[in-house]
């Protein structure tokens, strides 16, 4: 049985997927909600949100991602972060998944990635769960209804959580797999119900294809001034640095919260929705995101709630600290409808420094910007994970290591070219600790972070002059309106300056050690600023 609207020339049966009990094509939000509840995949929450749990996997499985080795990928893929899979093993896996699917219900969404029509990528997602179909319908971009009759998928993703691959049979590490075959244009996901794999595998795909077209793929959020699409700001940052919160500023228009491309024409959103972390979500600090939690069809993933009232508990992380919600961009009142903007005037690298060393903001030269981009530094605070007893550095290349298909230096060179052409101003913003490390100092006040960002975006940083940081070599403003001057010089916020100096040198050494792998692949301008 087949239901819904689709291109009959590209039915599942004509794609070699046969023997299904049913195939539901391009169902809308209400229909998918109904299927999800009836199938007991989740339950209705307050306001008509959908409450779901993902079981064993509550986050991504980056060590279980594989790319098929062929003539196109052998010498181009960053194999240090991507597992190798032979074409034979992929074909066997593909065949076995199709056999497993027989007699079952599946949900199909024909969607596209990239708001810029020049780089539009048609993607078909075939999912075992109705709620996964709803999730990806939020996260990607929807064609017009009359376009579905002629929709031609360029890549096909098959997501089958109930299929547990045998590690020895396919030469993989576990019973979970995300496998990409760029030649066949097929992606297989199995053994995990975590919905984020559906969106991140598309970003991995674009990380492979866009650079050859001169487009910089970026794991960042983006916004622009109200009514001014040329006043674009990019926010790079790893989890916990404030990327989503800080970009969703009511004084600016949100382009997107996670994945973007930068072409010669400007910045464009890859997605059509948001996937926000909800732990400790506050209606005061994040009113727009908070409001989506009680809207019809928002997918709320792995959140504890009262079984009677269905009231959500934003502090209970017993299921996972990685609790999330997925919703379409139109749920955010100040979101861009086009998903596009001009080239960025400002690029912000967000870091959560649990060592308490970095200032709340620093100005980076173009070379320093690429240095920090390649390193992608943040830190885990003690207590955030088992066994973490002191600040633990995290270096994630390009602020996106798990999603990179190519070597980091390729993205670094491309960003370097873009910055050079545009003259973008680059900033390092610390949303972590000051006055001492975690456990001694205090978290940088959110009002301070918002103040330094506002000053940067308004061109008001540096009116009072700069100092050169003796440890990192970047420029630090001496004065910013509305910010305590002492915060701009972290050393004097510590009880003992000698303790600060010791901690700073530790961090400098970590930077230096982690940059070693890039020394042979970057130009002299970047080597000159390396620590």
**Pairwise CA distance, residues 228 & 341, whole Å:** 9
Per the annotation, the verdict on 247 as an active-site residue is no
CB atoms within 10 A of CB 144: 6
Catalytic member of 200, 252, 372, 380: 200
- Inter-residue contact 322 to 277 (CB < 8 Å): yes
**Could you tell me which residues are beta bridge partners of residue 518?**
none
**Pairwise CA distance, residues 9 & 11, whole Å:** 6
Catalytic member of 57, 324, 372, 418: 324
- Strands 252-256 and 228-236, by their bridges, are unpaired
Catalytic member of 141, 219, 380, 418: 219
Per the annotation, the verdict on 278 as an active-site residue is no
Nearest to 456 by CA among 360, 336, 342: 360
User: CA-CA distances (angstroms) from residue 458 to 27, 276, 368, 479?
Assistant: 44, 27, 22, 15
Catalytic member of 239, 291, 394, 454: 239
Per the annotation, the verdict on 239 as an active-site residue is yes
Q: CA 86: distance to chain centroid? A: 28
Catalytic member of 60, 81, 345, 380: 60
Alpha helices in 266-318 (DSSP H): 287-291
Residue 385: φ, ψ to 5°: -140, 155
Sign of CA dihedral 58, 90, 175, 395: negative
Per the annotation, the verdict on 200 as an active-site residue is yes
Per the annotation, the verdict on 443 as an active-site residue is no
User: CA-CA distances (angstroms) from residue 65 to 86, 139, 191, 473?
Assistant: 13, 21, 12, 38
Buried/exposed 42-53: b ≥16 CB within 10 Å, e otherwise: beebbeebbbbe
Per the annotation, the verdict on 141 as an active-site residue is no
Per the annotation, the verdict on 260 as an active-site residue is no
- Which burial class, exposed, middle or buried, applies to 531 when counting CB atoms under 10 A from its CB (0-12, 13-18, 19+)? middle
Per the annotation, the verdict on 127 as an active-site residue is no
Alpha helices in 162-253 (DSSP H): 167-170, 196-209, 243-247
Alpha helices in 140-179 (DSSP H): 167-170
Catalytic member of 231, 258, 353, 469: 258
How does DSSP assign 113-146, residue by residue?
E-SSGGG-EEEEEEESSHHHHHHHHHHSBPPPGG
Catalytic member of 81, 199, 243, 380: 243
**Three-state SS letters, 481-530:** CCCCHHHHCHHHHCCCHHHHHHHHHHHHHHHHHHHHHHCCCCCHHHHHHC
Q: Which residues are catalytic?
A: 60, 200, 219, 239, 243-244, 258, 324
């Amino acid at each position: 049985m087949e239901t819904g609207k689709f291109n009959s020339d590209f039915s599942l049966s004509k794609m070699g997927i046969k023997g299904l009990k049913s195939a539901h094509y391009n169902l809308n939000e209400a229909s998918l909600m109904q299927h999800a509840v009836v199938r007991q995949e989740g339950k209705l929450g307050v306001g008509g949100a959908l409450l779901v749990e993902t079981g064993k996997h509550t986050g991504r499985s980056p060590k279980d991602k594989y790319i098929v080795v062929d003539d196109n990928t052998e010498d181009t893929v960053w194999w240090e972060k991507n597992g190798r899979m032979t074409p034979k093993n992929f074909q066997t896996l593909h065949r076995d998944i199709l056999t497993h699917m027989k007699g079952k219900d599946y949900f199909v969404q024909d969607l596209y990635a990239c708001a810029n029509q020049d780089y539009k990528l048609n993607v078909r997602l075939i999912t075992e769960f109705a709620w996964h179909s709803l999730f990806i319908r939020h996260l990607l971009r929807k064609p017009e209804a009359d376009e579905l009759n002629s929709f031609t998928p360029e890549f096909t993703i098959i997501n089958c959580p109930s299929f547990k691959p045998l590690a020895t049979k396919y030469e993989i590490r576990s019973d979970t797999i995300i496998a990409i075959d760029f030649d066949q244009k097929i992606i297989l996901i199995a053994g995990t119900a975590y919905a984020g794999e559906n969106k991140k595998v598309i970003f991995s795909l674009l990380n492979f294809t866009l650079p050859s077209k001169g487009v910089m793929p970026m794991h960042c959020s983006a916004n622009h001034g109200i009514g001014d699409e040329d006043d674009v700001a990019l926010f790079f940052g790893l989890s916990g640095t404030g990327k989503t919160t800080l970009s969703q500023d009511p004084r600016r228009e949100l382009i997107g919260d996670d994945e973007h491309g930068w072409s010669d024409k400007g910045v464009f959103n890859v997605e059509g929705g948001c996937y926000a972390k909800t732990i400790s979500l506050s209606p005061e600090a994040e009113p727009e995101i908070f409001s989506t939690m009680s809207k019809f069809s928002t997918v709320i993933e792995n959140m504890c709630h009262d079984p009677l009232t269905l009231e959500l508990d934003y502090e209970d992380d017993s299921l996972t600290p990685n609790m999330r919600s997925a919703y379409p961009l139109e749920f955010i009142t100040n979101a861009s409808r086009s998903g596009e903007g001009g080239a960025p005037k400002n690029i912000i690298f967000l870091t959560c420094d649990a060592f308490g060393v970095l200032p709340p903001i620093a100005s980076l030269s173009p070379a320093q910007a690429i240095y920090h981009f390649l390193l992608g530094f943040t830190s885990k605070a003690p207590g955030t994970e088992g066994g973490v007893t002191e600040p633990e550095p995290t270096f994630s290349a390009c602020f996106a290591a798990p999603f990179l298909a190519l070597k980091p230096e390729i993205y670094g060179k491309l960003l370097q070219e873009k910055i050079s052409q545009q003259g973008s101003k680059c900033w390092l913003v610390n949303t972590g600790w000051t006055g001492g490390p975690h456990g001694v100092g205090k978290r940088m006040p959110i009002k301070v972070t918002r103040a330094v960002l506002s000053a940067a975006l308004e061109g008001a940083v540096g009116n009072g002059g700069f100092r050169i940081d003796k440890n990192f070599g970047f420029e630090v403003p001496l004065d910013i309106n509305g910010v305590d001057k002492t915060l701009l010089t972290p050393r004097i916020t510590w009880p003992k300056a000698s303790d600060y100096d010791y901690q700073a040198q530790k961090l400098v050494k970590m930077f230096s050690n982690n940059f070693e792998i890039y020394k042979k692949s970057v130009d002299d301008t970047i080597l000159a600023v390396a620590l």
